[in-house]
Amino acid sequence: MTKRTIGWAAAVAAWIGGAAMAAGPSERPNILFCIADDMSFPHAGAYGCAWVKTPAFDRVAREGLLFTRCYTPNAKCAPSRSCVLTGRNSWQLGAAANHVPHFPKEFRTYAEALASNGWHVGCTAKGWAPGNPGGRQLTGAPFNRRTAPPPTPGIGRNDYAGNFRDFLDARPAGTPFCFWYGSTEPHRAYTYGSSVAKGGKKPAEVDRVPAFWPDTEVTRTDLLDYAFEIEHFDRHLGRMLDLLAERGELDTTLVVVTADNGLPFPRCKGNAYELSNHMPLAVRWAKGIRNPGRRVEAYVSFIDFAPTFLDVAGLAPAAAGMAPVAGRSLTDLFRDAPSGPPRDRVLIGMERHDMGRPHDWGYPARGIFQDGWLYLRNHEPMRWPAGNPETGYLNADGGATKTLLLDARRAGGAEAWRLWEMNFGRRPAEEVYHVDADPDCITNLAGQAGCAARVDAMRSRMERELKDQGDLRMEGRGREYEAFPYAEAAHLDFYARWFATRDVKAGWVEPADAETDFYRAAPSIARFEASSAPDGGTALSWSVGGAPESCATELRIDPDVGFLADDSGTVTVRPAAGARYTLTALNPRGTNTATVTVRPR
């Protein structure tokens, strides 16, 4: 961490600590944090979405605050939840920047901090996951004894509200509580058509299908099945609110309702777009929210939850044993009395999510949402963003819409290829979208002259803030994130094991998702040459051609240079005269190489 980062973090910690000390023990509310599993903004009734019925969420919003610009920094289960728990962005969390990590010992969670300060802390169902918590209860003691018959086989058996009752019954008298309600809905798999057969829904009720999917009855039914599972989450939320009201504690409880990342469909969860990172958020706290019923338009981030909970508990992060937080308390928004200008942007990013790429690589990206725009930098554009085709696009959960897209591409046709490219194809190094006008992020405005000044300003601001926060990508050390191993043996070296047998599968995609015959030819090397560089070194330039079915899955120059991030480019080396360099391009169909010799100058 740089001196600049330490100073910035200390200032934030001091500000939060000063606010926290204003709250006395008698004013401390209980905390009920409710997090759905894979639910995007705006899929709740309070946002005007008529095909998802969420009366409990709507009640929280009506009696509290409805946030319209809440974002997770990382749209995947484990890293998103790490941000919630620590108040830090995922790129500030070492191994926890990744999915399925070993949770780092050096980062304490707000739940651990509250538990060690006398709070009754617990959770039900999905807390921090997936990964290895190292024997710690990162979200509190589990309460999972009670089960109930689910509406469909795709919905979990956990009686969330019943387990919340057990948690309350176990609380010592006079002790404030903090509870994590971690639903496993609307995570896949779904029981296809259950929303129609059991929920009485009709495909025509879906008012809009995102422009990157085909608008068919299959897609609409898939969306309604997703809605049916959100409604299960919401019913248990309603039971929890009623239980608190029965016990006379609803008005003294801070209730926060959100989700961890976007809906489990292609180009949403596991990506870095509007539907990936933009989350629903409603907050109720009768004793602490002034002028309830408001809509909050300011940008807020998941890194704001931990400092908010510590603030209302009267704890400063440092005193609670936590690493410096990057977020800010939301209590000034609760009071409708901002202590400074509202945040006008949020940062997002991702590192490694699900396995399925060579060498356990991820798809690193960083972005900034600001003033209704999104700037996105893809650091390894030659990689497949949804995971490699041959292993099943493992960073896109299996389901009816994914199957529809893949089957359509195999059948052929320009429109099917266009949709496949948007959902699974490679992406450019920079993407820019006017989200307010283009919420599906379809029209990439990068490179357009009319956007140049805005793009330059957003890029500069993003990079400056990331450097201040100690992001290793900004220091040229991004591969360190990928050096952290997966915490589960089934994930480790998945691609190498698949390559050896062509018969290793993951459980969250359909077997037919794996396009083992996707590649039709080995990658072709169009150019590899050496020339004099202006600084006196040697410039090695390369270009590897080919359609998607003949692209390189790995590209490297030996010796000294290593793996390359793009299909074309130039790198400067300082070799001895006569040194030989080899460019290797490969995919599952084969390998091609080219060699150059550096001549004496």
pLDDT at 173: 95
Every domain of the chain with CATH number 3.40.720.10 lies at 27-339
Is residue 493 exposed (0-12), middle (13-18) or buried (19+ Cβ within 10 Å)?
Answer: middle
Query: Using CA atoms, how far apart are residues 183 and 159, in angstroms rounded to an integer?
Result: 10
pLDDT tens for 106-158 read: 999 999 999 999 999 999 999 999 999 999 999 999 999 999 999 999 999 99
What stretch(es) of the chain map to CATH 2.60.40?
A: 524-597
* The pairing of beta strand 365-370 with beta strand 373-378: antiparallel
Confidence of residue 546 (pLDDT cuts 50, 70, 90): confident
H-only helix segments in 247-320: 274-277, 305-312
Going from the C-alpha of 379 to that of each of 349, 352, 383, 452, 485, the distances in angstroms are 11, 12, 9, 20, 20
pLDDT digits (tens, 9 = 90+) for 207-227: 999 999 999 999 999 999 999
Amino acid code (one letter) for 170: A
Q: What is the mean pLDDT of residues 231-252?
A: 98
Q: Distances from the Cα of 517 to the Cαs of 424, 521, 523, in angstroms?
A: 16, 10, 15
pLDDT above 80 for 363: yes
Which amino acid, 288?
Answer: G
| Closest among 453, 452, 446 to 432, alpha carbons compared | 446
Assigned architecture for domain 524-597: Sandwich (2.60)
Percent of the chain with pLDDT over 70: 95
Q: pLDDT tens, 26-39?
A: 578 999 999 999 99
Q: Token pair 């404030």 is at which residue?
A: 176
Whether the per-residue pLDDT at 23 is higher than 70: the answer is: no
Q: Which residues of 403-424 are buried (b: 16+ CB within 10 A; e: fewer)?
A: bbbbebbeeeeeebeebbebbb
CATH of the domain spanning 27-339, picked from 1.20.1600.10, 3.40.1190.20, 3.40.50.300, 3.40.720.10: 3.40.720.10
Contact 57, 238 (CB under 8 A): no
Q: What is the dihedral of CA 219, 160, 257, 19, to 10 degrees?
A: -160
Q: How far apart are CA 391 and CA 505, in angstroms?
A: 8
**Separation of alpha carbons 166 and 170, rounded Å:** 6
Identify the band that residue 14 occupies on the pLDDT scale cut at 50, 70 and 90: very low
